[in-house]
Amino acid sequence: MRSIIHLVMLFTGFVSSAVIPTNDYWSFRAGLLHAEEVTTIGGRLAFKEGERSANDLLMTHKRAEIDEAFANPQKFLPAKNFLTVLGKIEQSRVFNIMKKLPKGAVLHAHDTAFVHWEFVYNLTFRDNLYMCNNGGDLSLQFFETPSNSCDWKLLSDVRKDPVIANTLNERIRRRLTMLVENPDEKYPDVDAAWIKFMDIFMFIWPILTYRPVWEDYYYQGLKELYEDNVLYLELRSTLPILYELDGREYNPIEVVGIYKNVTARFKADYPDFIGTKIIYAPRRTMKESEIENFINEAIQMKRTYPHFFAGFDLVGQEDKGNTLKLYAEKLNAAQDDINYFFHAGETNWYGTSTDDNLIDAVLLNTKRIGHGYAIVKHPKVLDYVKKNKIAIEICPISNQVLGLVKDLRNHPASVLFAEGVPVVVSNDDPGLFGSRALSYDFYEAFMGIMSKNADIRALKQLAMNSLIYSSLSHDELSHASTIWQKRWDEFIHELNE
């Protein structure tokens, strides 16, 4: 080890003087490669019992897949838009190992987009759902007695005509997902992708915010995560006003209570599921004068549900929304009252006001950074993140589908993985992208963003990071780690069998 350290120290000096020790070339090279291996994610973990042989199996499949694509780049799936290769990813042996992997937690997901779109489509067959076709714009909403705001028709009656039903059902399906045959043509830039993205949210909003549907939808989301070996969730929610058929409405604090009750029901059904915490995340289009009301709501939520409420964020397309700087004074004043988990740097612009959100996020003491896509352009911020152990929430599929990066080999998180920056991998809005839970994002990160040599230890570190950088208390983290470790040991045993 001393010789390796000595060689690395020598490297710094020799590079600065442009002199390479040719007589010790191969030792020097080996030492440098080892130093890089130790620095990368998972590189400092030692193989535990059974992990090395399990790793041999995983890496055999990973290297075979990458070697085949290296010979024929057209076969490398992370280089292609996820919407076009979803089915091929599901055939990958590496992906099928990912599904078995105990992935710990999802720390970055949005409530109205974390359930597979087919479940949402099936919701449209429920009673009391009406449709309105106003100038070609289709709307769906639950009513006991429909309002006069539109020419509402009971959807189940409209579907009685099989010809109309086929056309209408396909129309509804298209409104629920970003899946198209030619996504690069359909979504040529970030703005085009976001327009479709927001159109889906607007369409499903009146469906999902019917209270019984909301509860079933959220329960299904937990089930999809659990079946994908995810044991804990921190969910960002705008906490919309929910409604009943009789006209009753639930305010945001009451919605948190509904979340808490459904979570308790799910944990009763699946006792080894660790749980959920809520991050209140209103849209970043609010006026400067409005932010204080949302902060006060968040503080009240924390007082009412101290162990279930995690913190506060602002959501929406960063390039089109307001900056953190606009709200900085009010946010700064509330730092001691609530935790922040800010979206920041979800942009490919450099030096813009959006890009500067990264600076304000760390100054406001954010506990994690959502996306942080642009952080490699800010070395001082990156140094601060490393020293203060602020995790970056990487969402590979979201970044690709929403137009930030076409080829995941060029994702800036490659640098973060290589330097061992605190990183977690999350799924953002899987239901809208046609994916389910977390395995798809783990596959894309492992195969497309990490080094070819990143192995099972990198995956283990990612899973552990998701618990370490969560909002779990010390006792909750200890309990969660025990459950996860048991799952991990079973996973290693299964691979070896």
φ and ψ of 34, to 5 deg:
-65, -40
Nearest one of 308, 179, 293 to 237, comparing CA atoms:
308
Nearest one of 166, 150, 149, 147 to 158, comparing CA atoms:
166
Print burial letters for 118-154: b (CB count within 10 Å at least 16), e (below 16).
Answer: ebbbebbeeebbbbbeeeeeebbbbeeebeeeeebee
- State the amino acid at position 145 in one-letter form: T
Helix (H, G, I), strand (E, B) or coil at 473: coil
Residue 317 and residue 357: Cα distance in Å, rounded?
A: 12
pLDDT in tens, the chain (497 residues): 454 445 444 444 444 445 566 678 888 888 889 989 999 999 999 999 999 999 999 999 999 999 999 999 999 999 999 999 999 999 999 999 999 999 999 999 999 999 999 999 999 999 999 999 988 899 999 999 998 889 999 999 999 999 999 999 999 999 999 999 899 999 999 999 999 999 999 999 999 999 999 999 999 999 999 999 999 999 999 999 999 999 999 999 999 999 999 999 999 999 999 999 999 999 999 999 999 999 999 999 999 999 999 999 999 999 999 999 999 999 999 999 999 999 999 999 999 999 999 999 999 999 999 999 999 999 999 999 999 999 999 999 999 999 999 999 999 999 999 999 999 999 999 999 999 999 999 999 999 999 999 999 999 999 999 999 999 999 999 999 999 999 999 999 999 98
- Decide: residue 350, CB within 10 A, 0-12 exposed, 13-18 middle, 19+ buried: exposed
DSSP per residue over 104-153, as a string?
EEEEEEEGGGSS-HHHHHHHTTSTTEEEEEETTEEEEEE-SS--TTS--E
pTM recorded for the entire structure: 0.94
Q: Tally DSSP H helices, then E strands, for the chain.
A: 22, 13
- Decide: residue 71, CB within 10 A, 0-12 exposed, 13-18 middle, 19+ buried: exposed
Helix ranges restricted to H, 340-426? 357-363, 379-387, 396-401, 413-419
- The token pair at 115 is 């359930």
- State the amino acid at position 124 in one-letter form: T
Helix axes 2-17, 25-39, angle to 10 degrees: 100
Give the torsion sign (CA, 372, 373, 375, 376). Answer: positive
Cβ distance 397 to 429 under 8 Å?
Answer: no
Give the torsion sign (CA, 426, 430, 433, 436). Answer: positive
Catalytic residue of the set 234, 297, 318, 346 = 346
- State the amino acid at position 233 in one-letter form: L
Nearest one of 309, 417, 324 to 364, comparing CA atoms:
324
- The token pair at 57 is 């199996």
Residue 193 and residue 246: Cα distance in Å, rounded?
A: 37
Catalytic residue of the set 108, 110, 116, 371 = 371
Rg (CA), the chain: 24
Residue 254 and residue 240: Cα distance in Å, rounded?
A: 10
Residue 356 and residue 406: Cα distance in Å, rounded?
A: 23
Q: Which residues contact 478 (CB under 8 A, 6 or more apart)?
A: none
Cβ distance 292 to 321 under 8 Å?
Answer: no
Largest CA distance in the chain: 87
pLDDT of the residue at 114 = 96
Residue 129 and residue 209: Cα distance in Å, rounded?
A: 12
Residues of the chain with CATH 3.20.20.140: 87-116+202-492
φ and ψ of 236, to 5 deg:
-85, 130
Residue 76 and residue 84: Cα distance in Å, rounded?
A: 12
pLDDT of the residue at 315 = 97
pLDDT of the residue at 6 = 52
In 3-state terms, the chain is what percent helix, strand and coil (to 5)? 55, 10, 30
- The token pair at 438 is 């977390």
Query: CATH number of 87-116+202-492: 3.90.180.10, 3.30.70.100, 3.20.20.140, 1.10.3720.10?
Result: 3.20.20.140
pLDDT of the residue at 17 = 47
Residue 371 and residue 108: Cα distance in Å, rounded?
A: 9
Question: Would residue 346 show up in a list of annotated catalytic residues for this protein?
Answer: yes
- State the amino acid at position 414 in one-letter form: S
